[in-house]
Amino acid sequence: MFADKARIIISAGKGGDGAVSFHREKYVASGGPDGGDGGKGGDVVFVPDDNISTLIDFKYKKKYIAKNGDNGSSRNCTGRNAEDLIVRVPRGTLIKDANTGRIMADISTDEPKVLAKGGKGGKGNARFATPTRQIPRFAKPGFPGEKFEVELELKLLADVGLVGFPNVGKSSLISVVSAAKPKIANYHFTTLTPVLGVVKISEGNSFVMADIPGLIEGASEGIGLGHEFLRHVDRCRLIVHVIDVSGIEGRDPKEDFEIINRELRNFSEELADRPQIVAANKCDVADPEQIAEFRAFIEEQGLQFFEISAATTMGTKELISAVYSELKELPPIKQYTPEPMSQQELEEAVGADRRFEVEFSDNVYYIDAPWLEYIMRNLNMDDYESLQYFQLTLRTSGIIDKLEEMGIKDGDTVDIFGFRFDYLS
């Protein structure tokens, strides 16, 4: 069964709690605090797997939860960090926030993508010892990990997409130019799932072609099968539009050409503007007048036109040679850029509880505010608006007022979860 969409819940692990402990040893009169920090919770990491071609497994398993970090212990022992949870998906999977539609990751390269970060471990009581507080009897709990409901959407990674009405010969074409073996029969909707084939030109030179199941009029609005698979054309660098020029099924090839291009435009303006080559199939059973008339129509559109017969392989070599030449001039396969959280999303993630503590130690002001962790994770230091929002958050939450109340001066160091900056009024 082919599945190219799924919705799951991913949850990173909670950080381990810090320990409250005091040194106990014979002949040591007054052992100090020695509670260790908690370990970090496991991340949820997505990686591509070329042995997987469908999202069917995610239809049955809906929750992916990483392990929590271990708690700290005595003798300043830090809890063990939890292992990351590795989620394997087909290459080309797009991951979106299910609630907002925000693109979180595009699993197209070999680089692993962390989608949910594990919580940091809480500090043990050894961290809170100062000259004036020598016996801290408290520690900090671990931070919760990130949790998201995400939508997985598979967009095939193919250089060339074959589009056209059902039964125009797309499956036959991909079967003769590649090693793909799709089902071929003389009836509509023979192909029910996208088919990928590698077209080899010479040693070390090849490209990937995708046979997209037949589109019909209204496909972009959900009619027929094509609407389920239009997304798989989205990444293609080049479109090969296969047309039945013979008209043996009573259709007008000119009208077919216009209908399919209209459906592509309704789905995506960018997709409709993608470079396109027209392959007039079934020329072996078409009249020369039909072919000449259709050729003139296509060349008026400024498009390359090729006469082929997938059944007899006539003209297929010339078509593939032209496709390969065109691909060499085109940019690489489209990849999607992850989108940062909006201010509204950050506000919702942070929530209403904005309690914080400020501690001054060794000439550094340490701010402990669990809700700030979400903002810090999504803070872009190179973006002016992001920094402005961060500064506004510190002001409206009362943190700046508290620092000023404690006597902070320009140039003093502020520490938030290890991120340090100089205070400027």
SS (H, E, C) 175-201: HHHCCCCCCCCCCCCCCCCCEEEEEEE
Strand 160-163 and strand 113-116: the pairing is unpaired
CA 269 – CA 337 distance, rounded (Å)? 19
CA 240 – CA 327 distance, rounded (Å)? 12
- Model confidence at 229: pLDDT above 80: no
Mean pLDDT of 206-230: 63
- Residue 121 token pair: 């471990």
**HSE, side-chain direction, 13 A CA sphere, residue 45:** 15
Q: Which of 91-100, 224-233, 377-386 has the lowest mean pLDDT?
A: 224-233
Mean pLDDT of 332-350: 75
Mean pLDDT of 394-406: 88
Q: Which of 301-310, 317-326, 365-374 has the lowest mean pLDDT?
A: 365-374
Sheet holding 44-48, edge to edge: 85-89, 44-48, 113-116
CB 326 within 8 A of CB 319: no
Highest mean pLDDT among 2-6, 219-223, 311-315: 311-315
Residue 26's pLDDT band (cuts 50, 70, 90)? confident
- Model confidence at 354: pLDDT above 80: no
Please tell me the pTM assigned to this model.
0.73
CA 167 – CA 373 distance, rounded (Å)? 55
Per-residue buried b or exposed e for 279-305, using 16+ beta carbons within 10 Å of the residue's own CB: bbbbbeebeeebbeebbebbeeeeebb
Residues 6+ apart with CB under 8 A from 145: 11, 12, 13, 14, 15, 41, 42, 43, 66, 68, 116, 117, 118, 119
- Residue 155 token pair: 């967009």
- Cα dihedral sign, 343-345-348-350: negative
Structural domains of the chain ordered from first start? 1-154 (2.70.210.12), 160-327 (3.40.50.300), 340-425 (3.30.300.350)
Q: What pLDDT sits at residue 227? A: 53
Residues 6+ apart with CB under 8 A from 391: none
Closest-CA residue to 66 (of 9, 140, 150): 9
CA 34 – CA 22 distance, rounded (Å)? 5
Q: What pLDDT sits at residue 224? A: 47
Longest alpha-carbon distance in the chain: 107
CA 378 – CA 384 distance, rounded (Å)? 13
Q: What pLDDT sits at residue 186? A: 46
Percent of the chain with pLDDT over 70: 88
Closest-CA residue to 240 (of 155, 313, 327): 327
Summary mean pLDDT of the chain: 84
- Model confidence at 11: pLDDT above 90: yes
CB 278 within 8 A of CB 241: yes
Residue 351's pLDDT band (cuts 50, 70, 90)? low
What values do phi and psi take at 389, rounded to 5?
-65, -40
For residue range 74-113, list pLDDT tens digits in order.
Answer: 888 999 999 999 999 999 999 999 988 899 999 999 999 9
Residue 231's pLDDT band (cuts 50, 70, 90)? confident
CA 321 – CA 240 distance, rounded (Å)? 13
Residue 29's pLDDT band (cuts 50, 70, 90)? low
H or E stretch including 351?
Answer: none
Mean pLDDT of 408-420: 85
CA 208 – CA 335 distance, rounded (Å)? 16
CA 163 – CA 265 distance, rounded (Å)? 13
Q: Which of 12-21, 251-260, 277-286, 375-384 has the lowest mean pLDDT?
A: 375-384
Which has more pLDDT, 274 or 388? 274
Percent of the chain with pLDDT over 90: 36
